Structures are given as structure tokens and as C-alpha cells.
Structure 1
Amino acid sequence: MTVTEKLIPVQVTVVECITASIKRFTLATLDGRALPTFAGGSHVLVQMQQGIQRFTNAYSLVSAPDDTRHYQIAVQREEPSRGGSAFMHEQVRVGSTLLISAPNNLFALDRRADHHLLIAGGIGITPFLSHLPELAAAKASYALHYAARGEEQAGFYAELQDGPHAAHCHFYLASTGQRLSLQQLMGAQPSGTHVYVCGPRRLIDGVLAAARVLELDSHRVHYERFAQAPASGGEFTLELRRSGHRLQVPEGVSILQAIERANLTQVDCLCREGVCGTCETPILEGEAEHHDQYLSAEEKAAQRSMLICVSRARGSRLVLDLRWSRAEGAVCEYQGRLLDPVIVYLT
């Protein structure tokens, strides 16, 4: 799969330190035109390049959907960083120009809900920051329950406490002894409630477990993982059969990351978390160690395809039927100008 959507050049107009580890970036078009519309829960892909290494990360839009004069994203510095968060924190500043995708949404609100229960953990607050103004504008019934280790780990805690949604927000800081009981909270909700959760794996798994105990219909429980599944397993050799190109995929690096860092080709992947299915790729030889949430158990056992954003080889060699094209030859168009979609322009 090669990238088919056009990328948008944007300039960083504001950089804010929300906490010691979280920065918020405000992005606007180069000519002042409005950016594409989006709904709460959307994210964009940001492309970055540092030397020969290239990164593409997905970041939730944290600005209000009704204001497309700019977008805002929040980036938490990861330790250790796989490259993207360190680049955003250390290299990107006011005046930098980035390339982003149009918004994609895998975590939209369900309009059938009578009540919306939002559950966030740590940096998992980010997709809810665009949900909140959308819910308020619709005069919907909603509540946000936000858990973190302490104020430093609770990005946007002060803004939420003092902002227009304060009456709908509830906080649980472990540093002060406050604990969130998921089963008790979810069991106290009115009928017709839809539950949305984003945060650490433990929190998401806890919500899903509580939903099973409470026998909630699966269509009423929505979740988004804000980090990729760990790229576990040892180093292996990857071959792209159509080109005959081979590369080593190190431990701790996904196939998608290895391809991007080698500057080999552009790959469609809207989520980078193993949930959307856009990077599904046929397996020609070898077997995959599946870490995605998209393929069924039967499809995983059949070993005919895999999601290369999170899954890896079960062995020392894997051959994929991935269309290959040099990234340097790929172009995108923006208002009549051809642009290289892999370069991050820094001023």
C-alpha cells in the first residue's frame, strides 16, 4: 500500500509547556487558509525526519473542532523515546514547518448515546479534549473521569479544573490517595450510557473487564490506545519481495518503523496502533507474531496477512508482499505545489 492522501504543510505558531514532559503545539497553514474540518476524537499523522531517520507519529487533535484556523496537538516526551517525541520536544519550535495528514477519526462519539462517560488515564486525556467542546455544543449529557499518578502526570489538569467543562470533570490523583473504581463508576451509570476510554493498557483492560462483568453491550464501549503495542521479540530479517530489498528489524522496533527509518517506501497507516487495518500486508514466507486488535483469531492463525505497525516476525525471517517505491520519488500536492512528503522543514 502506498500513501494516497495529500499531506498538508503547516507552520508551528505556538509551543507551550503543559508539564515538564508534555508540550502543546499550535499548527496553522502557510497561507492562512482554514484547515480541514474534523470531529472530536480525531488525530493527524505528523511526519518527521532527522538525518537518515524518518518518523511518522499519530497525535490526537486537542483543539476545538469548530475552530479550523489552527490545529493543536499535545506530545508527551517518552523515555526512552523511539524518536518522534524526542524530535518534537527537542527540534520543533515556533516557525518550524511540518507535514501532516488530514484528520482521521477512529474514536468518534456515538450519537445514539443518552449519556457519554469519558474515562482517561495520563496522556490518554488528549482525544477527550476535542470531545468536550463537541459535547457541550450539542448540549449532550457527559462526564469526564480522569486518573493519573499526580498533577505532573495529569496533563491539562489545571485547564480542565478552571475551564468551561469543570462541572463535568472528576479527578483521581494517586498521589493524594484518590482511586478510581471502574466497576463502581460504570455500574452507577444510567441506561443508554456509552463508555469511552483512552490511556494505559491496564486502564483499558480494566474498563473492558468491568464491561464484561456488568454485561454491557460491546457497541457501547469504545476505546483508543494512545501507544503502540511493544515491539517485542528479537531482531529478524525482512524482505520486500517485489523489490528484493532486505533490511534488519531490530528488537523494540516495528516493521513500519524500520521501513520508514530506512526511507524505503510510504505505507498507509491511519492509527499506528493495530486497530484500523490500513497497513494490512500479505505474508509470503515466514509467520507473524500478531499484536493487533484488527484481525480475527482465525485470520491470525491462517498467517496470510499481518498489520505491520505493531506485529513482528515469529522467527528470524519474514517475506512480505509490500509494494515498494523510493520515498524520494513520492510527491504530494498542496494548492498547486508539489512537495516531498517525507521531509520536515525546519526554519
Structure 2
Amino acid sequence: MTMTLETVAGEGVAGGLALTVCEARLLCPGIRHVVLADPGGRALPSFTPGSHIAVEWAEGRRNSYSLTGPSLEPDHYAISVRLDENGHGGSRWIHDLQPGQTIRVSLPRSAFAPVLNARHHVLIAGGIGVTPILSHVRAAVEWGRSFEVVYSFRDRLGAHADELAALCGERLVTVSTPEELAGHLVPVLADQPLGTHVYTCGPAPMISAVADWARDCGWPPGRVHSEAFGAGPLPAGAPFAAKLGRSGMIVPVPSGTSLLEALLDKGINVPNLCRQGVCGECRLSVRGGEIEHRDMFLTDEEKASGDSIMPCVSRAAGDRLEIEL
């Protein structure tokens, strides 16, 4: 018999889940591992490897985190979260969670799934970017897919390194510097069979470097996949005003405040998840004005067209921006 999990309502988690923290511990300095389960012990919805959930950490505030555990009818969801001292408080909230607390999360979503008909998978993780890669590895082992993993991390900061080693055996290579990464990965990319796909999750400079190396080795763009884990600290930016095209309302956006925050503070509902310019959930259409693009979601062509903005990170390049709201 199929049993219905307890669902919760609310912006961003409508149709989501109310889950209980059953484990919370440090994996390594600055990275906390949290295990969530249904209060009634029922199986949770299955998910595609590379999926994430949005965790609501305050009213109208949520952050997205990759799922690291088993993906088929799991009895728990697991996330590993790096403490961001420069963030808005979401990671600190996660680090303060204790077993027994109940939290609200969205259903899993994926924008970084494995290509099922790929001949071989080259999986590259940088720092906390290991979380979706671990999910990929679990599925690859379970389904007997051909894969190899390169994990770049600094000393003592290799979250899940032991777990990856147990899953991968000789298919795992660890490095600790950009030079070591290039020294190992460039020859790998230069000698891959047709039908191989490469997946990178980590900081933006590493993703850019891997994409450049793949291009130089003749890889078609369709076989190169990536997911960044955030834009990192951004300049406060100059103040500007956003005009809402439908109502004519003017919304001031002070320096240090994102356009998304300014809109939400005015009671204007804008769907959002990651708030880091990665997921694309908060994308808005732009009617007029120049944009200072800071996101990692829009393509170069989309940014050049000037008709879309990710308000969680991007700003007006001038003193006024008109958006389709």
C-alpha cells in the first residue's frame, strides 16, 4: 500500500515535506552533514542523481543543497553543508540544527543529471562540490556504469573522501592544487572514447578551466556538464531603482541589497531557491535598462540579449531597470 507523506504548504515548499533531523555531525572543519527522515519512518520520494532540495531556514528564506544519499526509495535524505561566514545565515542555521528538530524542505529537483546513454562518465569535484558527484557515483556503482572521479580538495577538507574511496576504489584520483588537477585531467580529457561525458561541480574558476581544457581537446559542448555551488561573495554594488512594468511601482534597491530581496520586502512574490545565481528559479524578464550580470545560469547569448535577469545576484548597470512584473 502506498502511504502519503506529510506535506507542507508555504512559498517555495508547496507540496514539499516536513522532515525530522535524525543525525547532524561535522564531516571535517566547516562542513556539517545532516540526515533527514520522515517522522513516520516511511520511504521518501526517489530522485535523479545530482538532485537538490530547498531547505527553508526562515520565513520566505531557503537555500538549495545537493542530496548525497541513495536515490531510489530512500529512507532518508542527506545533505552536507559548508559554513559560509559571508552568507545570509542559511548555512549557519543548518550548522545549528540538532537531532529531533523538524524542518521544511522542497521535493527533490535536478538540473545536473547523468546522461544515461553515455559510454563513460568523468566526474570532477572541487571542495563541497563533491555532494552531487557522490550522488552520481552511487548510481553509477548501482547500475554498473563506466566512470572515474577526480576530487580536488585542500588538506583535511575532503568531505566524503573516505566514502568515495570505498565506492570508487582505483577509479578515484585526489588532488590538492589547480596545477595537480590540470596535470592529471588534461591527459584524461585528451584520451577519452567517443560518447564520454564530463561533469564538474565546484567553484566557478575550476568549472571554467575544465570547460576550456575540454574545448581545447575537441570536446563538443553537449558532452560537458557543470553545476557551480555559488557565486561567492559579491560587491555591494551601487543603489538603483527597479520599475515594475505592469503597475508602474518603483522599488528602491540599496547598495548591498539584492533586487530579489528588495522585491520580497515589498511583498512581491518572486519564486526563488538557491539565491546564488545558479538554479535559475528567480529569472525575470527585463523591459528596459542595462544589466550587470553576476549569475552562472544564463548563457553568454542570453546575457547579451539583455532581456533577462537573475535578481538574486545581478543588478542594474545604471540607476534604473524596468522589469516585467
TM-score, structure 1 length as denominator?
A: 0.80
Q: How many Å separate the matches in 2 of 1:240 and 1:3?
A: 22
How far residue 321 of structure 1 moved from its aligned partner, in angstroms, is 3.0
**Aligned mate of 2:19, from 10, 35, 44:** 10
Q: 1:120 aligns with which of 119, 125, 140?
A: 125
In the alignment, the residues of structure 1 paired with residue 91 and residue 13 of structure 2 have an alpha-carbon distance, to the nearest angstrom, of 25
CA spacing shift, 1:296–1:188, aligned 2, 3 Å: closer
Q: Residues 256-267 of structure 1 correspond to what in structure 2 (within 5 A)?
A: 256-260=260-264, 262=265, 264-267=267-270
Partners of 1:266 and 1:6 in 2: CA distance: 17
Distance verdict in 2 for CA 1:179–1:211, change over 3 Å: closer
Query: For residues 174 and 279 of structure 1, do their structure 2 counterparts lie closer, same or farther at Cα, with a shift above 3 Å needed?
Result: closer
Matched to 2:82, the amino acid is Q
Corresponding position: 1:236 with 2:223: no
Whole-angstrom distance in 2 between the partners of 1:158 and 1:213? 33
Deviating 4+ runs (over 6 angstroms):
none
What is the match of residue 79 of structure 1?
A: 85
Amino acid at match of 1:43: H
Match of 1:103 in 2: 108
The one of 209, 219, 223 equivalent to 2:222 is 219
Task: Give the TM-score, by structure 2 length.
Answer: 0.85
Which residue of the partner structure matches residue 131 of structure 1?
136
2:95 partner letter: H
| Whole-Å separation in 1 of the counterparts to 2:161 and 2:182 | 16
AA aligned to 1:203 is: M
**SS class of match (1:16):** strand
Specify the code of the residue in structure 2 equivalent to 1:65: S
* Equivalent position of 1:268 in the other structure: 271
Q: Could you say which residue in structure 2 is the equivalent of 1:342? A: none
| Distance in 1 between residues matched to 2:210 and 2:238, nearest whole Å | 32
Distance of aligned partners of 1:170 and 1:301 in 2 relative to their CA distance in 1, 3 Å threshold: closer
Displacement, 1:301? 4.0
Higher RCO, Cα 8 Å, sep 6+: 1
SS in structure 1 at match of 2:150: strand
Cα distance change, pair 320–178 in 1 and its aligned pair in 2 (3 A): closer
* SS of structure 1 residue aligned to 2:167: coil
Provide the aligned C-alpha RMSD in A: 2.7
Secondary structure at the counterpart of residue 15 of structure 1:
strand
Is 2:50 the counterpart of 1:41? yes
SS of 1:18's equivalent? strand
* Aligned-partner SS, 2:212: helix
Distance 1:30 1:48 in 2: 19
For 2:211, what is the secondary structure of its paired residue? helix
Out of 310, 314, 319, which is 1:316 matched to?
319
More displaced 10-residue stretch of structure 1: 17-26 or 275-284? 275-284
- CA distance 1:263–1:78, change in 2 (3 Å): farther
Partners of 1:296 and 1:81 lie apart in 2 by 25
Q: Which amino acid letter does the alignment assign opposite residue 314 of structure 1?
A: A
Mapped pair 1:254 → 2:263: no
CA deviations on 1:22-76 (whole Å, 9 max, x unpaired) are 0011111233332221011000111111xxx753111000111124211001100
Residues in 1 aligned to 2:204 and 2:186: alpha-carbon distance in whole angstroms: 17
Q: Cα distance 1:283–1:17, how it changes in 2: closer, same or farther (>3 A)? A: same
Match of 1:26 among 23, 35, 58: 35
Identity of aligned residues (%): 35
Aligned to 1:159: 163
Q: Distance in 1 between matches of 2:324 and 2:194?
A: 47
Cα pair distance change 1:237/1:30, threshold 3 Å: farther
Letter in 2 for 1:317: R
Q: Relative to structure 1, is the Cα distance of residues 146 and 4 closer, same or farther in structure 2, using a 3 angstrom cutoff?
A: closer
State the shift of 1:96 in Å: 1.9
Whole-angstrom distance in 2 between the partners of 1:9 and 1:265: 26
- In structure 2, relative to structure 1, the CA distance for the partners of 1:58 and 1:258 (3 Å cut) is farther
Map of 1:62 onto structure 2: 68
Q: Is 134-143 or 66-75 further displaced after alignment?
A: 66-75
Aligned to 1:183: 186
Residues 82-109 of structure 1: per-residue CA shift (max 9 Å, x gap): 321122113x221222111111101000
Give the drift of 1:223: 0.4
Does structure 1 retain, via aligned residues, the 8 Å contact 2:51–2:111? yes
Unaligned runs of 5+ in 2: 1-10
The 1-side partners of 2:304 and 2:176 are apart by: 42
Amino acid at match of 1:101: S
